[in-house]
Amino acid sequence: MSLRKREPIMRAIEAGAAQESAAAEHLDLRLWLRLMAVHKSVKDELGRRLYQEFSMTLPRFDLMSHLSRQPKGMRMVELSRRLMVTNGNITGITDRLEEEGIVLRSVDPQNRSAILITLTAKGKKTFSSAAKVHEKLVSEMFNGLTEKEKILLLDLLSKQRTSLKSLRAG
């Protein structure tokens, strides 16, 4: 092949290599943006469907989910820490749930200055119904992945979480 005929081919190869290099340079940023986009899409869809079927927001569902695993109740400060929101946010959600008879506030017998939140019978029934729908929705959202892909994704995310923990510790 003549030199003239090879020049466009070489330029195309070099351009492709340059694009790959540029893409690789921003791979971490692209990955982070994709994770954020997927997270937002999942949260938005779960929130929309829970509200549509139960008039329940995702933060309310999350709070009830934590309480459902703690039959003796949880301190508001602990709920705030686990849900990664402010104490004021937990107070607002709890106020509304208490008005609806979903949760009950009581003084913590271990620490009289702390308040325990527990699900009422109505709250347990409401959460049980919502949890079934939530589980079905989550399954639907991952229908596009094979079982092997789900396991791989779970492994990769676990590995990344471990990596982040070591960053915090170091």
Q: How far from 33 is each of 26, 30, 39, 89, 151, CA to CA, in Å?
A: 11, 5, 10, 27, 22
Residue-level pLDDT at 8: 67
In the chain, the largest separation of any two C-alpha atoms, in whole Å, equals: 89
Residue 118 scores a pLDDT above 70: yes
Residue-level pLDDT at 1: 56
Residue-level pLDDT at 4: 62
Residue 75 scores a pLDDT above 60: yes
The 10 Å Cβ neighbour count of residue 81 is 13
Tell me the whole-structure pTM to 2 decimals. 0.75
Domains in the chain: ranges and CATH = 3-169 (1.10.10.10)
Cα–Cα distance measured from residue 30 to residue 37, given in angstroms and rounded to the nearest whole number? 10
Reported confidence tier of residue 170, pLDDT bands at 50, 70, 90: low
pLDDT in tens, 25-61: 789 999 999 999 999 999 999 999 999 999 999 999 9
